[in-house]
Amino acid sequence: KAGVTQTPRYLIKTRGQQVTLSCSPISGHRSVSWYQQTPGQGLQFLFEYFSETQRNKGNFPGRFSGRQFSNSRSEMNVSTLELGDSALYLCASSSGLAGSTDTQYFGPGTRLTVL
């Protein structure tokens, strides 16, 4: 089974621009979560989608948005980029069955640099 894939792997943008990151989950997984990882804040939860519905949301401004498609693929969008948005953005998929066996499988991440 193919793992979680994220595109692009690296991205350089300038302040004020917007960016869209893509995540393809493991086949059969219906849940996709997004995380932002920075040296200062560590791993911060962004949002979680299940069957095209946002199930949970982290404490990020409205500039951060996401969606999930019927094939479980997910995208996240960041508008009006700020220098502080430079980070590794990680996507994780799971079967979506909340509870004790809900293991997350992570993609390699997208490294976003905002200049």
| Given 90, 112, 113, 114, the residue binding another protein (CB under 8 A) | 90
With binding defined as CB under 8 A, does residue 32 bind another protein?
Answer: no
Q: Which stretch binds another protein (CB under 8 A): 20-28, 61-69, 75-83, 101-109?
A: 101-109
Select 45 or 80, whichever has its Cβ closest to another protein.
45
Selection from 96, 95, 93 nearest residue 106 by Cα? 93
Select 6 or 72, whichever has its Cβ closest to another protein.
6
| Given 51, 56, 77, 80, the residue binding another protein (CB under 8 A) | 56
With binding defined as CB under 8 A, does residue 55 bind another protein?
Answer: yes
Selection from 21, 30, 65, 27 nearest residue 49 by Cα? 30
Taking CA atoms, 58 is separated from 7, 27, 44, 61, 64, in Å, by: 22, 25, 8, 9, 10
Q: How far is the CB of 16 from another protein (least distance, A)?
A: 26
